[in-house]
Amino acid sequence: MSKAPLKGRDAYKVWREVATRWADNDAYGHVNNVVYYSFFDTAVNQWLIEQGLLDIAKGDPIGLVVETGCRYARSLTYPQAVEIGLAVEELGRSSVRYRIGIFGKGQAEAAAEGHFTHVYVGRASRRPVELPAAWRKMFETILMPGEPALPLEKEEKQDERPDGRRLRVRPHSVLGTD
């Protein structure tokens, strides 16, 4: 089965540079796949902090990661600088799906491409909440042209499962409610 090629640099709006670390290489001599997910988390959360949307200690609402995925195309190794591209791929009523591209510094083709989805919930309730209007405006600044920004009433219906139940996010038994 043939897959579409990974997206190029023009598919991303915001860029971050990170350095690989000695510990990132695995026994096969390349950056281990789990490190790419750390790159995703770093790029998204760094952008949220810079925009004033993430206050780790007191923020409300908070974003919970509900889905991630990654496609790999070429290896990265230590020591190598990495450039991470970020864009919003889909903006919903209470959710944001980010597109993330991982590139070796200065390379035109991505080493990997992934996605990362936050559902925003009340800090105490852990129930989905509508994105504040000011937050939507910030997310729209990195929404890629032609990508869906779902109308509120349309996404409300999409949040429902086929059996009519709604998505519920409950406090985690280990992580608690904070």
Tell me: the pLDDT tens digits for 16-51? Answer: 999 999 999 999 999 999 999 999 999 999 999 999
pLDDT, position 88:
98
Name the nearest CA neighbour of 132 among 177, 96, 169: 96
Q: Could you list the residue range(s) of the whole structural domain that residue 61 is in?
A: 9-158
In a domain, 102, yes or no: yes
Tell whether 53 is covered by a domain. yes
Digit-coded pLDDT (tens) for 54-80? 999 999 999 999 999 999 999 999 999
- Does 20 fall in a domain? yes
Domains held by the chain: number: 1
Across residues 154-164, what is the average pLDDT?
Answer: 47
On whether the CB atoms of residues 96 and 88 are closer than 8 A, the answer is yes
Residues 6 or more apart whose CB falls under 8 angstroms from that of 138 comprise 51, 53
Q: What is the CATH number of the domain that holds 33?
A: 3.10.129.10
CA angle 171, 62, 113 (to 5 degrees): 105
- Per-residue pLDDT tens for 109-135? 999 999 999 999 999 999 999 999 999
Task: Decide if 118 contacts 100 (C-beta within 8 A).
Answer: no
In a domain, 169, yes or no: no
Residue 25 placed within a domain = yes
Q: Is residue 171 part of a domain?
A: no
Q: Is residue 96 part of a domain?
A: yes
At 102, the amino acid letter reads I
The answer to whether residue 177 sits within a structural domain is: no
User: Residues 137-165: what's their mean pLDDT?
Assistant: 65
At CB < 8 A and 24+ separation, what contacts does 53-57 make? 53/135, 53/138
